[in-house]
Chain A
Amino acid sequence: MNIQKLISAVRQARKRRKINDFHETPRSGIDVSDDEFNVTLVMLKTLFKYFKAQSCLIHISFYGEIIITLTEMGHSFELSITNRPHFLNIDEYLEQLKTAAYIRLPSHNPHNSMTLSVKTIRPKAIWKHYSIDINNTENTLIEQVFNDLKTKMNSYSNQEGESSYAVIPSKNDLLAAIHFGGAFLGTSSMLYHLSKLLTNRIYIREISIAEHVISIDGSNYADKSEHWFGKREAKFFTQYLPSNSFKQSLNL
């Protein structure tokens, strides 16, 4: 795929990323405000050019995740650009807020924290963050990111864990679609009531969305249930779920 097509795939996927707000394990990707989005895409283009030159394969998922595979090493990583606070210890703030209504920080500018983050697709891999200036991409930074990744990947001995990437749609994607649909379509939709019902459920083993029906399988045999939906919900699902997912029931 050429770079322009990749960029437009990211742009296309942006509207589907809305379900991320209702997602228990939100998918990575580009999350910036509207006025920063176009500048970010310009920067992304520079990044893609660099990775292509290093003979990497770039894939954009249905929900706009950016997955880059280093062909020579056979390992992949996820890439995300968003505005993150470079707070040292969110946990400490949360602890303090249990007794105080607010905390005052010494001079600090939270806006200036656009971050490029990468994570190799391995179980237990963690995100590594780099501060960036989206208006002015330096090749040295990209090189540093790339070299850090390579060093890390060199220590990987086998292919184990490449499957840790959650295939679309995952159980959480489907759940997020139900919750988002409930909020989006309102009280007149069955999704609203199903969403409320599912919030109270502790464990859901399996969930599948077929052409007209959502099947939910809980922890035991008695928890099995089926929920039929109409045209409005079907239209909603075509927008936010990949089409193959609810044409044929998927086993997760």
Chain B
Amino acid sequence: MVVVNHTIILGVHELYIDKALLPPRYALPTLCVLSINSHLITIIENAKALLIDNELSDVTIQTAIPLWYFQLTNRYHYDIKTFAHIGHDFIRFSGILRPYKEPHFITPKIPINSLHHAPPTIKQIDLAQLSIPFARSLVKEINNLNDQYSRLDELYWSIDPVVEEIRKLDESTEQSLSLESDSALESLNKQSNELDEQKVAINTQLEILSMRLLFKVFGISKGDWVSFIPRVDHSPQRLQFEYCEVFENVLTITGSGITQNGKLGKRQQHISIELVRLS
């Protein structure tokens, strides 16, 4: 028997996957009643590990945890197929009334860290963890990617002035210039676009790797409350992890700060972790 800690009630919205598939309005649930118990927490934790390992943005699992309340009948209905959608920092539920094939209603997102009754525990970042072999290999991978990124970036900006002029020229002249030089200019323009695409791809990869590093090494993921004592001035920084990025071998975690009395503040704070290049 799982112990129910408390309950959350969610509104329910219609989901317009297919306009033609509209059941009568009264055939929709009014409320979604969700009991937070250890079983649910385990499901979320497993899903989160899955997200990080497989570079996913959310996972969908069929579940029977939430109850759907219908105001029309003043009771819970059982013949509903329910799916839990779990992302890095949120969970939401969608459902299907029996004869339909596609989910046609959904709840809003609940931040995972607000599932717990108490404010989330603050996780400490311990830089010593970075010296374990697994962390070192990840750091190395990030460093390499970062180098690759810098090289691309350098190339991009060095051809940028030329490309910029070509584009201007392209707009101001109607007839093509001499054929050979025109195609050469064209290919330069193309290359600039390609470089831009590659930069975006590497950036995404960097984000995934740094998320993995933070999760596997420090055990933190999006939505967690994090604290960090920098080596330099020793004043602790506390924030809610919203996103992270790597630039020039520095991993920056950004999010709203946590105030002295343990509440979420308004100001954006940053935690910078230097990923030391390993020789």
Does A196 belong to the interface (CB within 8 Å)? yes
Among B11, B23, B74, contact of A183 (Cβ-Cβ < 8 Å):
B23
Partner of B24 from A31, A94, A107, A199 at Cβ < 8 Å: A199
1/0 per residue, CB under 8 A from B, across A89-124: the answer is 010011001000111111111110001000000000
Q: Are B77 and A109 in contact (CB-based, < 8 A)?
A: no
Contact (Cβ within 8 A) B9 A83: no
Per-residue contact bits, chain B 224-242, to A (CB 8 Å; 1 contact, 0 not): 0000000000000000000
Given contacts A85-B69, A102-B110, A108-B7, contact A196 B22 (CB under 8 A): yes
Decide yes or no whether B6 CB sits under 8 A from chain A. yes
> B243 on the interface (CB 8 Å rule)?
no
B72-95 interface bits toward A, Cβ cutoff 8 Å, 1 = contact, 0 = none = 111111110000000000000000
A101 touches B71 (CB 8 A): no
Q: Mark A16-39, 1 if CB is under 8 A from B, else 0.
A: 001011101010000111100000
Query: Is the C-beta of A52 less than 8 angstroms from some C-beta in chain B?
Result: no
- Interface residue range, chain B: 35 or more
Secondary structure call for the A interface: mixed
Contact call A109/B10, Cβ cutoff below 8 A: no
Interface size range of chain A in the complex: 35 or more
CB atoms of B108 and A26 under 8 A apart: no
Chain A: minimal CB distance from B29 (Å)? 10
Contact A21 B27 (CB under 8 A): yes
Is A84 within 8 A of B27, CB to CB? no
Q: Which B residues are in CB contact (< 8 Å) with A199?
A: 22, 24
Q: Is the CB of A84 within 8 A of B75?
A: yes
Q: Is A187's beta carbon under 8 Å from chain B?
A: yes
Find chain A residues with CB under 8 A from B33 CB: 85, 110
In the complex, the answer to whether A180 meets B99 with C-beta atoms within 8 Å is yes
Interface residue? A179 (CB, 8 A): yes
Q: Is A208 an interface residue, CB under 8 A from the partner? A: no
Known A-B contacts A110-B7, A110-B35; the reply to A21 vs B77 at CB < 8 A is yes
Given A31-B78, A110-B67, A187-B20, check contact A101 B35 (CB 8 Å).
no
Question: Does B98 lie within 8 Å of A18, measured CB to CB?
Answer: yes
A184 at interface, CB cutoff 8 A: yes
Contact with A along B165-209 (1 / 0, CB 8 A): 000000000000000000000000000000000000000000000
Task: Tell me if B4 counts as interface (CB < 8 A to partner A).
Answer: yes
Q: Are A106 and B11 in contact (CB under 8 A)?
A: no
Contact B76 A83 (CB under 8 A): yes
Chain B residues with Cβ under 8 A from A104's Cβ? 6-9, 114, 117
- Tell me if B109 counts as interface (CB < 8 A to partner A): yes
Whether the pair B27, A22 counts as a contact (CB closer than 8 A) is: yes
Q: Most chain-A CB neighbours within 10 Å: which of B33, B76, B114?
A: B76
Q: Is the CB of A22 within 8 A of B24?
A: yes
Contact indicator A184/B99 (Cβ below 8 Å): yes
Say yes or no: A18 contacts B23, CB within 8 Å.
no
A102-B108 contact given A22-B24, A110-B7, CB 8 Å threshold? yes
Chain B residues closer than 8 Å to A184, beta-carbon distance:
99
List chain B residues, Cβ under 8 A from A21. 27, 77, 79, 97-98
Interchain CB contact (< 8 A) of B31 among A22, A33, A90:
A90
- Supposing A21-B98, A83-B75 touch, asked if A105 and B6 sit within 8 A by C-beta, the answer is yes
B5 at the A interface (CB under 8 A): yes
Instruction: List 4 tightest A-B contacts by C-beta distance, closest first.
Output: A101-B108, A97-B11, A183-B99, A184-B99
Instruction: Give A residues with C-beta under 8 Å from B.
Output: 18, 20-22, 24, 26, 31-34, 82-85, 90, 93-94, 97, 101-111, 115, 127, 179-180, 183-184, 187, 196, 199
Other A-B pairs beyond A21-B27, A108-B6, A110-B67, 12, CB < 8 Å: A31-B77, A85-B67, A94-B30, A101-B108, A102-B9, A102-B11, A102-B110, A104-B8, A104-B117, A105-B8, A109-B4, A187-B20
